[in-house]
Structure 1
Amino acid sequence: MKKTLFLLLIFTTFLFSDSINKNILIINSYHKGYKWSDDIVKSIEKVFYKHTNLDINVLYMDSKKITSKEYSKNLKNLYKVQLKHRKYDLVITIDRFAYDFILDSYDELFINTKIFTVGIENFSQEKLIEKALENKVWALLEKRDLKANIKLVEKIIPSIKNLYIINDKSINATHTEPLIKELFVDFTGRYNLIYLKEDNLSSLKHRFSKPENNSAVLFIRFYKNSDGTLNKNYEISKFINDSKVPIFITDSVFKYSGVIGGKIVDLEKFGTQSGLMALDILNNKELKKVNVFDDFAYIFDSKKLDEFTIAIAQINDEYELVNKRLTFFDKHRGFINFVFIISPILIFLILGLIHNIYMRVNTQKKLRQRIDFDEVLLNAIESPIFWQDEKGRILDSNMMFCNIINVEKSHIYNKRLDEFSDNRSVKIVQKALLKYKKNSKKHSSFKLKVTSIDEKIYFIKQTTYCDSKTKKTGTVTILTDITKEKKAELERQKNQQFIIQQSKLAEIGEIFSSIAHQWKSPLVEITTIAQESFYSSSTQKSEDESYVKDIMTQVEYMNKTINDFQNFMVPSNKKTIFDVSLAIDELLKIVNHNIKYNYINLEFNYDKNINLNVLGFRNEFMQAILNIINNAKDELIKKDFNDRFIKINILNEGKNLKIQILDNAGGIKKTALKKIFKAYFSTKKEGHGIGLYMAKMIIEDKMNGELQASNANDGALFEIILEYVE
């Protein structure tokens, strides 16, 4: 009895052994996004996902980017913490870095754990024997078939004279070099075999940027430049595709990048075989310790073969063509085969359908189908559409029209628009249509508030129709949403105004430069005359000296004012970082006399410890400030009272810089306050209405700030808010 129970227990354990959960750790030598290792890992995972009892964890070492000993040491410490409470049945290492790391860390991290290394090119038993791990490690080697690829090149390019073998200067490259050296030792070809290890991808691009007759390239890898920088996959793909010399490959990473082709290691197949071997190891099946992947595949790029005029008719092995130009029959082969297979049945079906249609179809059904089709078609159109008869009654519409007037479709049939007297949207549409009938060119569009926050602009298009059977006429109205187009046009007009203003500023600057040049000559003459008068005068020198000094002071002041104004009139070509206080100081020097002689007190206050730097157009910013100050000055001149003032304050609020310009000219009328920033609106009789409009556009559109106006303390308050630069 006991013996029977024991045998039953063994049988049950064997039967359900596959259902026991097993933990697998995959350590990838590289980073996520590195295509070579990503293709292998994805294929391994596909094999594992079929087994619900496997728990898979993937770690990335990122050794392409970081290779220092300090990093390896810290990574080991990190894994100690990360894997402290995890026990794995199998650890799979992808490529050399992960494999070496596992061997060095085995006693600390993975005692008694099975190791399966995937993707390395050379395998040595010495280190395993040294660490007593020869029974714990299995391997699937990826050895590129370089000799077969050289024979392939000789076969399809018989006139070959130079064959370049490209490899980078990375640690991985050193593991491939034994294969390359063996290739050179055994090489007996009639052409030149050249081993090429450039310092960087740029020099490689330059080398093969021009055609080289009877030459080809065998590309092994070029992921890393000699300075350690990592080349991205798309950069390597672009080099391969742009090369003027045909390129052959040894694995499937750059299969679709414009290569001629090659006998390659298909990484998806390689990953699949790796996954199946891993399952065998987990299930303790008899398996060779070291295996070499030999399931190579021939691939060729159809477009590149045509580009370099290379034929592959002499290839006897099976091969895959990528980027193949498909014929009509290739594109529709499935459909054509299907038609041929079922053609007898189709003939009977067609005859039956014709008979059925002849017997069943009638005028009413056709009409119903047409109505349904028209309704679907109408509702698919995004523009609101509705029909009216000669009396203005609505005969039909699409859902879009019902949505914008917020009326159900069933409620609008045979009704006139003026019957919806309580509907604000209908009133707006009706009013717009009446204006359109009077003058279609002038009133071709109107605004309609679709929601509380969404206002749209619609373009009106009307046409008359006539029913050929009933001879009744009517009108079709189409409303096209042109909101985006109008906004784009408004933005274009703003930019055009800014450019025009800059152009005007430049023209004025050129005129003033000419005037300044003419003024400076008389100023020099005045200086010279004053000095000559001083030295030739017979009067007391002390009086003359004071007289000449005053003249020189005034001349110097005039000269400086001219220079300041010249600098101010030059428009800014690009955004720069500038100090707001210095810009305003410079502006005030120019307008100070005008303000002073009109008996206006001007105050400029700011804390020197605040951040005053902003990014923008310095001279246009000064122009915006000047427009606001001039408006305040013009209003103050109209007022006859003492203590007229303009105050300018600068302060920081959070990450913003706030500039306040305040006057005591009585403020802005409420009716004008909402319009002062609109183009061509002015409260002055001779005003152009462009100054504050340009100021707002400069601050908000060109410098991403805010310009606001309000009334405060018996005057107007303008506030400019800009983000300061750290």
Structure 2
Amino acid sequence: MKKILILISLVISLFAKESSKEVLLLHSYHKGYKWTDDISNAIEKNFNKYNNINLTTIYMDTKRVSNQNYYVKLKELYKEQFLNRRFDVIIASDNSALEFLIDYQNELFPKTPILFCGINYFDEKILEKNDMKDYISGVIEQVDLEKNFELISKLHPNLEKLVIINDKSKTGLIMKNDLNKLIPKYKNRFEIEYIDDMQMNELKKHVSNSSKNTALLFVLLFKDKTGKFFTYKESLEHIKSFSNVPIYGLWDFYLNYGVIGGLLTSAKAQGDAASKMALEILLENKKIKDIPILRKSPNQYMFDFNELKKFDINIQKYVDNYIIVNRPFSFYRKYKLLVNITIATMLVFIILIILMRANINRRKKLQRDLSNRLEFDKVLLDTIPNAIYYKNVDGKFIGCNLAFANLMGLNKEEVVGKNAFDFFPKDIAEKNTKVDEKLLKTLKTDTSEMALHFSNKEIKYFILNKAVYKNIDGRIGGIVCIMDDITERVQQKQFLIQQSKLAEMGDMVAAIAHQWNEPLVELSAQVQDIQTSYLLNELKDTQVEEFVNDSMIQIQYMSRTLNDFRNFLKPSTKKVIFPIKKALDEINEIIGKQVFYSNINMTFNYLDGENLVVYGYENEFKQVLLNLINNAKNKIIENFAESQIKGNIIINISKFQNYNKIEIIDDGGKIDEKIISSIFEPYFTTKKDGTGIGLYMAKVIVEDKMQGFIKVNNVGNNVVFTIIVPYKKD
């Protein structure tokens, strides 16, 4: 077990060692030099977020010592110092460090990526030396003189003179070259005095005599004319001590020591940008040649609060994004986010309290309105004569109006909690339950008819209009049903049907007379023949037997005719499935001979066989057929009365989707297009003695009672009545 633990520890340590990253930060200058320290702080801040990055920092101290012999000795020192170390990336701070690495990288750190920052006046040709182009990238340090000139001229619109203080160091001479290009552009706006060859005492005397409308631009002053060395802090403090005019700078390390500020080259920004490039190499495995050089220096507008206040300078009019140092403590400024959040939170709470109070008042008002509305709805429901009930998704009644309670002989409280089987017969309750289940799934509405038998032998007919209702939370609450009492309408329709039948009786009596005429003549002839044989004493037993047989056939035929007539008058009480052929045969028995003697051919075409059926009211349906055939017969007789042309009535029976179709076609002449759309309306007739209810009742029977469809149209000179009826239960 001990060996396993040791092995695991070794693996973990090897993995940790392999995953750790080594970075060398090589500074041109010394520790304590603010520019250098700010770069270091920015790099360390970004690297401290990652435990696997080890940073080694070295200072070349070239502000104090800077010659070739010194660089050779540094090379030998670093060669010995880093003999057994390998770095993943090297960061060079300022020009001296970069130039040193370009000269000696192949000896000290072969093929190691180098990132630079703080490089003044970068010349890309330097990368061609020792083939370093593919190993170097970084951030250029670039002083923006023109923007600082513009800033000074805007902040001091009455400026008469700008004094520029510089030295003759390598950087100072480069800056002088850039200033010489820029100064002519501003000479007409204010006087510009450039100083780089005075002793500190001379400079002190010269600056102290500056007029009111003068400003200083402090570029660099590490050495005066005598060669005396000053730190950046010392030189600026000397100038500040005897200057009574505003001083502007170009680097951020001069802040806090007397400069107002300006668009400053920031050491922190340089270090931040270089370290982020290093993280791309260390963490994202990017190749250094794929990281472009950042050529636009990340400069920032920075100002000293104390100096702005001293010279009463307002920068907000001219600068949008800026940083101010030495601002006096302000609780709001320091904890601005916290204060803003607190104020915003308090405002939100105040608004919420106001809204909640308004909401409470609104809810109280709504509650009163709702109570009033509920009371109103209760009275309204009880006032409605239609029986209304509503039940939940489980089929339990949860309420009703007074009309439903009275219909069931109960009070409203007794209805609650019951189900359909407590009020309706089993078959009706089962049918309603299935309808309810379907509605709860489809969320549609449903209309159906129902007949209720009461204990007093009274029958009432209702149309049930059902719909699903939802609760306030959007969930399905149940089903509401409005029962429309149509008993009087049903009775009225039944009366109209019977009235329509009575209207047909004249034609039927005539048809029966035609039917009986032949058997009566036959019976009369047989009676006379028997009488003659009897008188002549020639009557035989066989003659008597034949007479009886023939007479019974004629009597049975006449009796069957009467039965058909009686069945026609009898109303159907319920829907049944019956053969279409049977109905047509019975109609033919009644009026067939009358049609034949009217010089009309009546043809029955069973296009899909003779076994097609209809689901509906049999006698009422036969009434419809009889009415249509009689109308066709009468029209043919009326139009062909003076001619010997034989008329035709063709009846086609066929299937049509989930229905059966019957077409009654006659050639008695088309119906006037002006009235064809009105012939099914009640009491509409073109006959002198017509009632106008025949075709209306045909439509009621087919469409309302049998859920079918009837229509009429002209086809050429023929008229086609089409009946489409169901052949099975819904």
Decide: shared fold, TM above 0.5: no
Question: Higher Cα Rg: structure 1 or 2?
Answer: 2
